[in-house]
Amino acid sequence: MSQYQTIKTQAGLGLEAGAETGGPAIKLVSMSVGDGGGKAVQPSAGQTGLVHEVDRVNLNSLSQNSTDATQWVAEAVFPADHGGYTVREVGLWTDGGVLFAVANFPDTYKPAPSEGTAGQLLISLNFRAQNSDNITLVVDGNLQLATREWTQGLLEQERARASSAEAKLQPAGDYATNASLQQEVQRAQAAEGKLQPAGDYATNSSLQQEIQRAQAAEAGLLPLTGGTITGPINRAGGGVLPEVIGPNLTGRAVIQAFTATGQTSWGDGHEAWVSFPASFTPGTVPVISIAITRETGGDYVSRFAPIGVYLNTSTPHINNTGFSFQPAYIKGGEVNTSGGQWTVQVIAIGVMQ
């Protein structure tokens, strides 16, 4: 057995057992020292006080061991203006005045200031507690002193925090001062009642450019009743036109929207030809989208309109002047060309000189 040891008193064990079963947490507040009545002492669980207490101060810190969560360290600093005694015993007290733990201590003389020398005395008392939730520290902030170990630990924490935050520091630059920023905030609030929320907004110059571009292109907008949209092709950006219609395009991108009507003969191999209102550049193939909106007559009516189902493969079914499609129907498993009159809506996108 070690010559010097810390043990919990019976009263301390009772408090710990009560805390484990839902009772109040143990609040440790102070540490006392005694001279043992002039001789070495052996701590006893039955003690309710020190053999001969000579001094008592508030706890400075209470912490868990970094490698053993059940090991606790209570620290107290006995100030320089206390002294004139030899420390042989140490006690740890709760806020209710109960001696929680007691320890014997190597003979350590603490001189009084009147003896010509004085200094602080730091005492650390180690004890075990299974549940950290049951132990708390009550500290008088006006009397708490910083130990060298505590200060060193705090410095290490601050260094780590500073290193972590360093990468987030704003680089040197021309920034608005708080005063100027507040002035701008107040001016905006006075003018609009509230600030515009943060976002990706256009600058005045880019907005003016967009307005001018829109005004210049307004004459080429597609009317609600049909027509064409014209404008330059953005070759640098790629996209649908260069990929689908053909490479090395020159001229204007044109969208034609129109309605066509007609009628085909019933049976296999009959397709309808639809001409564009205006031909696109020769050698290019426009992109088209069609939909049958009406078909009349007979029991065999169209349900879909594929492009070029029965066309001869040697003849293109879409060129710069128009396209072929089959007004088809499905009935009882039969798929064929309908003989009714049809109406289709067409959107064609291509290139014109």
Shared domain for 119 and 258, answered yes or no, is no
Considering the entire predicted model, what is its pTM? 0.42
pLDDT-above-70 percentage for the chain: 66
Measure the CA–CA gap between 325 and 302, rounded to whole angstroms: 12
Q: Are residues 114 and 252 in the same domain?
A: no
* Strand 252-263 to 227-232 pairing: antiparallel
Q: Rounded distance, CA 190 to CA 260, Å?
A: 59
Within this chain, do residues 16 and 127 fall inside the same structural domain, yes or no? Answer: yes
Query: Considering its fold, how many domains does the chain have in total?
Result: 2
How do residues 204-260 score in pLDDT, each as one tens digit? 788 888 888 877 766 555 454 445 545 554 444 444 455 455 555 667 788 999 999
Q: Are residues 150 and 17 in the same domain?
A: yes
Note whether residue 179 is domain-resident.
Answer: no
Check whether residue 99 and residue 228 sit in a common domain.
no
Q: How far apart are CA 41 and CA 162, in angstroms?
A: 48
For residue 173, the tally of other CB atoms under 10 A from its CB is 5
Neighbour tally for 261: CB within 10 Å: 13
pLDDT digits (tens, 9 = 90+) for 300-328: 555 556 665 444 555 667 888 998 877 77
Instruction: Write out the residue range of the structural domain in which residue 139 sits.
Output: 6-162
Residues 138 and 14 in one domain: yes
In tens, the pLDDT along 257-305 reads: 999 988 877 766 677 889 999 999 888 888 888 887 656 655 555 555 6
Residue 293, in any domain of the structure: yes
**Phi/psi of residue 106, each to 5°?**
-60, 140
Q: CB-based burial of residue 328 (10 Å sphere; 0-12 exposed, 13-18 middle, 19+ buried)?
A: buried
Question: Does residue 286 sit within a domain?
Answer: yes
The two three-digit tokens of residue 29, written as one number: 């507040």
Gap between the Cα atoms of 156 and 161, Å rounded: 9
pLDDT one-digit tens code per residue, 146-187: 455 555 665 677 677 767 666 666 666 666 678 888 888 888
- Return the residue matching tokens 């003018």: 191
Of 162, 177, 198, the domain-final residue: 162
Same domain, yes or no: 144 and 11: yes
Which residues are registered as beta bridge partners of 275?
322
Alpha carbon dihedral 80, 85, 90, 94, in 10-degree steps, equals: -60
> What pairs with residue 322 in β-bridges?
275
Helix (H) or strand (E) segment spanning residue 347: strand 341-352
pLDDT tens across 25-37, in order?
899 999 999 999 9
Q: Are 158 and 273 in a shared domain?
A: no
89-93-97 Cα angle (round to 5): 125
- Give a yes or no: residue 106 inside a domain: yes
Average pLDDT (53-70) is 88
Residues 154 and 10 in one domain: yes
Coil, strand or helix: which one is 229? strand
Determine, yes or no, domain membership for 188.
Answer: no
User: Strands 135-137 and 26-34, how do they pair?
Assistant: parallel
Mean pLDDT across 108-131: 88
CA dihedral over 198, 202, 205, 208, signed as positive or negative: negative
Pair (153, 225) in one structural domain: no
Give the separation between CA 313 and CA 297, rounded to whole angstroms.
Answer: 31
The whole-angstrom separation of Cα 254 and Cα 58 is 88
Distances in Å between the alpha carbon of 184 and those of 5, 175, 191, 192? 68, 13, 11, 12
Among the candidates 162, 180, 200, a domain finishes at 162
Among residues 117, 137, 162, the one where a domain terminates is: 162
Tell whether 173 is covered by a domain. Answer: no
pLDDT at 173: 65
Q: Is 202 among the domain residues?
A: no
Any domain includes 310: yes
